[in-house]
Amino acid sequence: MKKLLFLSLFIMFAVNVFAQEVPFTLEVTNVRSDKGNIMVGICSTEDQFLEKDKCTYAFSMPAAKGTMVKNLNIVKGKYAIIIYHDENNNNILDRAMFGKPQEYYGFSNNTYGAFGSKPEFNEALIDINGKTNATVKLRK
């Protein structure tokens, strides 16, 4: 029993040492209305960023016109952020013909690919290795 207790405590300590969380503040600007939700994906891999896998951190928050701030604790690492304003609450980024988004969206580093598309994963990466702030400006 003592061995099991010691092993459990050791594993908990080891996980905390290697997966150290740090404060992260995400600011989302240019929220156009109070309708719907702001959908956020904080991705640690390219497959997550390409929406093949679920992002390491994924959440939504009720939209509030103007600027929104969310404080989190996340594991140190490099991440790319995807955000969109789901004004009609259908849980997808609505697109027009040829894939152009009809709802406001943004990426970390406020970077975009050609014609406003998703940037390359490495262009959107931010390094979170201590207290970090990131601002994403939504656009259409």
Could you tell me the pLDDT band of residue 16, with boundaries at 50, 70 and 90?
A: low
Q: CA geometry: angle at 77 spanning 83 and 71, to 5°?
A: 50
pLDDT tens digits, 65-76 = 999 999 999 999
What are the tokens at 70?
Answer: 């969310």
d(C-alpha 33, C-alpha 98), whole Å: 25
pTM here is: 0.84
Helix (H) or strand (E) holding 14: helix 2-18
Best CA proximity match to 63, nearest among 42, 43, 38, 81:
38
How is domain 20-137 classified at the architecture level of CATH?
Sandwich (2.60)
